[in-house]
Structure 1
């Protein structure tokens, strides 16, 4: 790869005078479009490229390789050789863990650059990246590294004196295809990569074409810390080309994908029609929030608004359907209005920004279309509801009411800073409230705000969701399994459960 360098004192002085953002933009401009295969950067076979936009301006900030079938073939072959013949699956767990910890240390030493890169590439407020995505990713990487020494089979108890032995082993599944989204590119690449590597797998990463840059930086660091050649391969490209080729490839043993339900279906079909590869799918969400009359309204209103502003609403678990007990509905709306008044919209790289732009013009237009369709069907806008004028892909924080259950705003994942609020009767039973929440094809996350412990436990038991967060949640541990039910996905990520997805079980019945 071409890296920025200075060769004289004048050039060095110019670099010193640049801000970190200017230096990063210059590095991005000078970086050659390439894919990482078998430990080296190389142009993609077709020499095709993709331009990457700054969502805050719409201007091109980088050009990356547009890999496709031939590049995926080369990357999978490299990963297969590294798995079959290389040292990675044969390293003791403590050595693999040490390399993952070294990767975490290398990222932490460059945390400022990664935060700026992620903010520029994906549009997220830099404070949310610095205080959220980065530390969460590092905690996940270090925690997952520990599983490299703890994955084990099992020997069942047997009667004394019985000859022979029965047991099972856990072995790495093989080559893993990791297809990551644009809404949390750094965090998702790091979590999936750590999980696969802890289980001794080798990987081919296909980052989202709208925000691929942090994956390329991570590829550089994997080489620098000493992860062997071929263990981590990165092919940038379009989902319809590189992503499809990875999902269909007959020599890939598992695909881990985070993204839309529609693409998840196509990956599951490709897995079935190729080699019956395993899939882990974390898909869409239309998460309900239930606010009961005894809830802390100040806390709940702030949390609801903060979450929908986080990543400009482009967050799969965001609580976008708000159901509130009628007696406190107006009071909650007043507080939500006030919380939205405090949102500072602007380029993600600016320190004062609390909500950046949406990822693309297409995503913003889709959100506007869903709102327009719902307004035509009778919904009412309390605030926002439209794109912000000017450059970039900004959207106003929005609250809708009078929303019908069959409107697009209720049924579809909008991925924008939009809340629709519905009141439920004061005497509604937990079953009736849960029925409102469960009226969705999705089931990724649900949120409950209530002080009464009986109400809390009733709702936890009734909600059809892979995750329930009560009164803002606990410690935010990265070890809890995360994933959805219904059309929100298949399988779980994080912790022991997540790592075990990347292993196969081999049963052994040993006679004497």
Structure 2
């Protein structure tokens, strides 16, 4: 694949189209700061047309046999698998992560299509006799919620799309997708693959835009749109919840995180360090499930910091297309500056960088992999999501303190717990005020498992058997059978 072969237009109800007024915006490589290409910028007229198309197609698509919907997803999974190298390269160019990371995301993203291709034929209900008798029967069935708006972020430009689009297609919903302005190319390319896989025109529109509100606001104002799925910041999520209120649209909100990583004194130190690097450095640290703060038992903290420092400082930083690179650039100058701000705040309050602690010179938005020790409780980096390659370490002395500190945040997406004690692992895992817990692992994401959080990290689940339920309404038919007890 050459970049010239990647779609740059809107995918409007199955057709490639320029924006209504011909406007476009640039997409840049964060590793070089150079523009890659220009993409059509969806305007009001384009949004209106996409909404009309989704509403018009909904009844027909909902009545399509589940097996046919599943086969579209299965073919799309195969196409993604066959073209993994090209998809990974494109993702690296527009987002910055290493080729190795991008290939991992392509595999993960494709798996949502395979998983939901199988779930499409398992949308079940129940038939039961009424407990009161008298010929009463209860028939419960599930039906697609209707046209959806799906808003995806820049950090996982492919996987955040497939884990929303997959269940929507499987359930029989039409949809509008608003990809992140910084990374629209992967989603546009995915739309082309879905069309090639046989997705009927009108089921999907992909609408890149320099204004998310230009796409989302008119859609949520239209009562025919019945669901919003959003991945992004808690601040924006709260506003979108308010916008959904007038039409009472269904919502799935995957919002911010502040993941604690707990290492107890009995943990396997090698496994904990490896898990820490995985949990922290996946996607350059630009992940809502990235470990944001490390709470380590005081008796092993010194050795943990030493080994983590060694591991982090050995990671090769550079453009994601280069051989051996493990850490690419951050997505933008703004994001890099936020990391600088949080690290400088921690250092000014007494924290010490054992490696890194500064941005790298030259082109691209690079920040050195960093370990901070002696981080004081009032440092902002312990309260705010850093979204970068920085691991701040604090200590605790007992289990209750560890749990209390870990849960002392408005967020509740994921926690990581390392211990060899099975009783403690389950006990602490159950006490974590999060939607997910990684026990002795730094990787929790799995297409077959429910992904989501609690508190300010949102609500609803993506993936697993639970994921398709977000796109289904339940209908109950009360039956009266004459002459039947």
Common fold: TM-score over 0.5: yes
> Where do 1:469-480 residues align within 5 Å?
469-472=438-441, 477-480=446-449
C-alpha contact 2:446 2:463 (8 A) present in aligned 1: no
| Aligned pair partner of 1:36 in 11, 15, 18 | 11
C-alpha contact 2:434 2:453 (8 A) present in aligned 1: yes
- Residue 160 of structure 1: CA displacement? 10
Given the superposition, is the C-alpha separation of residues 52 and 245 from structure 1 closer, same or farther in structure 2, using an over 3 Å criterion?
farther
TM-score, length basis structure 1: 0.90
| Aligned pair partner of 1:146 in 118, 121, 135 | 118
Q: Unaligned 5+ residue runs, structure 2? A: none
Quote the residue 1:263 is aligned against.
236
1:383 aligns with 2:358: no
Q: Give, in whole Å, the separation in 1 of the partners of 2:13 and 2:261.
A: 46
| Aligned pair partner of 2:166 in 177, 184, 194 | 194
Q: Give, in whole Å, the separation in 2 of the partners of 1:216 and 1:474.
A: 28
Quote the residue 1:49 is aligned against.
24
C-alpha contact 2:76 2:193 (8 A) present in aligned 1: yes
C-alpha contact 2:9 2:16 (8 A) present in aligned 1: yes
> Where do 1:141-290 residues align within 5 Å?
141-158=113-130, 162-238=134-210, 239-273=212-246, 275-290=247-262
1:25 aligns with 2:12: no
Q: Give, in whole Å, the separation in 2 of the partners of 1:473 and 1:438.
A: 18
Q: Give, in whole Å, the separation in 1 of the partners of 2:355 and 2:430.
A: 34
Match of 1:95, SS state, is helix
Quote the residue 2:474 is aligned against.
505
> Where do 1:1-16 residues align within 5 Å?
none
1:118 aligns with 2:87: no
Q: Give, in whole Å, the separation in 2 of the partners of 1:475 and 1:179.
A: 22
Q: Give, in whole Å, the separation in 2 of the partners of 1:400 and 1:473.
A: 19
> Where do 1:428-507 residues align within 5 Å?
428=398, 430-472=399-441, 477-507=446-476
C-alpha contact 1:293 1:450 (8 A) present in aligned 2: yes
C-alpha contact 1:139 1:478 (8 A) present in aligned 2: yes
Q: Give, in whole Å, the separation in 1 of the partners of 2:256 and 2:444.
A: 24
Given the superposition, is the C-alpha separation of residues 357 and 247 from structure 1 closer, same or farther in structure 2, using an over 3 Å criterion?
farther
Matched residues, number: 480
C-alpha RMSD of matched pairs (Å): 1.8
Given the superposition, is the C-alpha separation of residues 248 and 311 from structure 1 closer, same or farther in structure 2, using an over 3 Å criterion?
farther
TM-score, length basis structure 2: 0.95
Quote the residue 1:412 is aligned against.
384
Q: Give, in whole Å, the separation in 2 of the partners of 1:481 and 1:420.
A: 28
Q: Give, in whole Å, the separation in 1 of the partners of 2:325 and 2:219.
A: 37
Q: Unaligned 5+ residue runs, structure 1? A: 1-22
1:203-224 deviations in whole A, cap 9, x for unaligned? Answer: 1111001111111111111222
Match of 1:327, SS state, is coil
Match of 2:168, SS state, is helix
1:95-133 deviations in whole A, cap 9, x for unaligned? Answer: 111111111112222111101111111111111221x21
